[in-house]
Structure 1
Amino acid sequence: MDVNLASWLVIAVALAAANLPFLTEKVFGLVPLKASGIDGTRTKPAWVRVFELLVLYFVVGAVAYVFESRIGNVFTQVKEFYMITVPLFVTLAFPGFVIRYLRKRRH
């Protein structure tokens, strides 16, 4: 696989994974929650969305690691790598956050 293609593929996967917790009410897009509340709505608590974001960060990291190992030598990741990629992943989640919490809803 070409380095350029692998890079763009990891970015696309990261963008999709970062927004997944905010775009669906199912855990990881697969597992529905029990109905909670008086009206029987199924809304995910914020801590579940943060946990999903954390797990998906490591999933995207594993995908990137596999691509990097297939292309050539894998670089060692130190503290600075994680200090950059965690805020980048959270920044990629901003569109989903805006759609979920900041967009005006018409009733």
Structure 2
Amino acid sequence: MDPSAAVWLVLAVAVVAANLPYLNERLLFVGPRRAPKAAGWRLLELALMAVLTFAVGSLLEAGIGQRHAQGWEFYAAAACLFITLGFPGFVWRYLRRGRG
């Protein structure tokens, strides 16, 4: 796979994965439906999706060539980016007007 395409694929996966906890009312996406899902569940799902997105990125990097070792700084910056990508879902869930 082309490295540029792999980067765009990981970014697209990250955008979708970061917004899924806010758009879904099921526990861990497959469990029972909860009308007002607690914020703790959403944070757990967000962390789980971040780990899965990092795994997809690592697999794509290994498929392109040699996987580079990353320090804690990389994971801190990636986690901040992941949380930032989830902001539209957060706004849609908690800050939109006219919820009725």
Range into which the TM-score falls when normalised by the shorter chain: over 0.9
- Structure 1 residue ranges, 4+ long, deviating more than 3 angstroms after superposition: none
1:77 aligns with 2:70: yes
Aligned counterpart for 1:43 among listed residues 26, 36, 41: 36
**SS of the counterpart of 1:28?**
helix
Question: In 2, are the aligned partners of 1:21 and 1:27 still within 8 Å (CA)?
Answer: no
What stretches of structure 2 of length at least 5 have no aligned partner?
A: none
Structure index of larger Rg = 1
**Aligned residue pair count:** 100
CA–CA separation in structure 2 for the residues paired with 1:17 and 1:28? 12
Q: Which residue is equivalent to 1:68?
A: 61
Question: In 2, are the aligned partners of 1:10 and 1:60 still within 8 Å (CA)?
Answer: yes
Q: What's the C-alpha RMSD, in Å, of the aligned pairs?
A: 1.2
- Percent identity, aligned pairs only, is 45
TM-score of the superposition, structure 2-length normalised? 0.94
Aligned counterpart for 1:52 among listed residues 39, 45, 53: 45
CA–CA separation in structure 2 for the residues paired with 1:78 and 1:56? 20
Q: Which residue is equivalent to 1:22?
A: 22
TM-score of the superposition, structure 1-length normalised? 0.88
Higher helix share: 2
